[in-house]
Amino acid sequence: MKSIGIIEKLKGFSKQELVLLAVILSIFLPFYIFIIIFIAYLIGLIYTGEMKGILKRLSNHAILLLFIGYSGAISLLAQNVMGMVATLGMFLFAIFFYYYQAHLTPKFFRLVLQGILSLSVLASVFATLEHFQIVKKFDYTFLSPKMQVWHQNRAEVAFFNPNYYGIICCFCIMIGFYLISTTRLRWLKIFSVIAIFANLFGLNFTQNRTAFPAIIFGAIIYLFTTIKNWRAFWLSIGVFGIGLAFLFSSDLGVRMGTLDSSMEERVSIWNAGMTLFKQNPFWGEGPLTYMHSYPRIFAPYHEHAHSIYIDTILSYGVVGTVLLGIASSDPIRKLIDMSQVPSKRPILGLYLSFLTVVAVHGIFDLALFWVQSSFIFLLVMCSLPLKHSMIAELVD
């Protein structure tokens, strides 16, 4: 009976929305398959004639386009090939998410969140099989010999790297909290609780140490934003207790024993990143500057500076970072406006918890700068323009 209800629910959406949903949910496939689907979808928008209108309306976002253009220009001048590729990806994401925003409704947004949470449960099952070596990891060496498996005993599912999967688990847990807070359907509440624990197990199998404080702080921020009373305090204590239980009763706890040596490595990467920043502090050399320039100072190879804060100023310099800050001012203003309306607390909590996860996780890593993790992050954050005027719009 439940499956019949879901089918009837899907019939309430247009063919255009269902195709968009299919593209969105393909994010759980290996990244190269998703990229093929993603590009094919954008080509389809050109074929239908919708792309012209999207580009015309996107031109109104001058600061965002200026930042993307700036990123491309400095990457070109620095001969940073991967930076140019990443900048092209930013532009394609800007096109897609502008189109996504234009077709987004509260009803479709909830369907997207439920779809992501459902597939995250399947991902956690795969993570379990991967952890116990029942299935093999995805092999990416056919794309490049450098894409070999480095993390033999850490689950990464279809997300290329355990840290990328880790931050996605954090996002899905926050989505689970949000759906519990905003649904009147008993089955969805139960399913969301199951999904939260499934993603906790998936997160545990990644052995991602950075995600542990990120998920704790993210959950606490969500609870205090949404509830704002003594229950939030006790629920936060419960979340912290569950987190500690997972930490000290798992392989993640064992891996915490190597934290000292890992911190030494991180500090050396940060120092190298700051050394590169001082060589070009104002302009930067584009995305993935560390990977492009590390041989210049004989630093160890890494894709990035393992800190969202250091990597941002390193890649875009002072000028680019200021542009990025200006581009972020409008979303920040929307969040401040939402904080004044009590009925918007659940969705505000979701936004703030996502930002908290990124801010805390970003101290030690740059897991957000990946196709799949950034896509899921933007699926939620780009819903900000929705007119969530009443709590009734947000519930099933």
Per the prediction, the chain carries an average pLDDT of 88
When pLDDT is cut at 50, 70 and 90, the band that residue 274 belongs to is very high
What are the φ/ψ torsions at residue 73 (nearest 5 degrees)? -65, -45
pTM of the model: 0.93
The per-residue pLDDT for 265 is 86
Give 265-268 contacts, CB < 8 A, sequence gap 24+.
265/300, 266/306, 266/307, 266/364, 268/299, 268/300
Nearest to 249 by CA among 211, 313, 201: 201
In this prediction, residue 389 has a pLDDT band, given cuts at 50, 70 and 90, of: very low
pLDDT band at residue 394 under the 50/70/90 scheme = low
What local confidence, expressed as pLDDT, does residue 351 receive?
A: 97
* Confidence check: pLDDT of 63 > 70: yes
| pLDDT for the residue numbered 261 | 59
Residue-wise pLDDT tens digits, 275-312 = 999 999 999 999 999 999 999 999 988 889 999 999 99
Neighbour-count burial of 49, counting CB atoms closer than 10 A to its CB (0-12 exposed, 13-18 middle, 19+ buried):
exposed
C-alpha radius of gyration, the chain, whole number: 21
| Length, in residues, of the chain | 396
Q: What is the mean pLDDT of residues 76-98?
A: 97
Query: φ and ψ at 188, to 5 degrees?
Result: -75, -35
Calculate the alpha carbon distances from 15 to 18, 54, 318 in Å: 5, 19, 45
| pLDDT tier for residue 1 given thresholds of 50, 70 and 90 | very low
The arithmetic mean of pLDDT across residues 3-25, rounded, is: 82
Longest Cα–Cα distance of the chain, Å, equals: 64
pLDDT tens by residue, 187-211: 999 999 999 999 988 998 998 888 8
pLDDT class for 390, splitting at 50, 70, 90? very low
Banded model confidence at residue 392, pLDDT cuts 50, 70, 90: very low
Task: Determine the pLDDT at residue 343.
Answer: 84
- pLDDT at residue 9 in the model: 73
Per-residue pLDDT band at 50 (split at 50, 70, 90): very high
